[in-house]
Structure 1
Amino acid sequence: MLSKILSIFKGNSKKDTKKDIRKKLDKIIEIDYNKCKNCLSCYRACKNNVFDIENSRIVVKNEKNCTKCGDCVKACRYGAIILYND
């Protein structure tokens, strides 16, 4: 359990509040916008309508639709998709 928590927060600042930590633990999928190039690969690869485009940017719109199949992770050549394990 501790290793899971540490892997989620690796590289984060110590300024995370308890609310921020709880929010991150509930995440299924996330986009690292420091790596994302808006190439639409994840959007095209997802069969479950998890991603959407808002203001010319890919966003996780329907996180609850995510089945963790990993198709978006495989499609993203920039490593911008973070798929959290249970």
Structure 2
Amino acid sequence: MKKTSIIPIPVKNALTNIGLNLSVARIKRSLQMSLIEGRAGITHVTLTKVEKGDPTVSIGIYAKVIFVLGLIDDLYNIADPYNDYLGRRFDE
């Protein structure tokens, strides 16, 4: 029996937004999908899934696409303790 996982709606929405943002970034840079696929070492199907925000794609694949698009600095901001308002409140 195949194990299924339920993706919370906020997570799905965030991934969809990330996928759209990556697609827009690629288009604004006038980069063809085949170029991103080659540089990231992924297939066309996988890049299509990334740009749709598919939750079955690994975070490593998303990170490679982010890197290829020159957006790697944005990845460092995820869960940054200096930007974690709730976490800082626990420190008080």
**For this structure pair, what is the TM-score category when the shorter chain's length is used for normalisation?**
0.3 to 0.5
Higher helix proportion? 2
TM, length-normalised to structure 1: 0.36
Structure with the greater alpha carbon radius of gyration: 2
TM, length-normalised to structure 2: 0.35
Higher strand proportion? 1
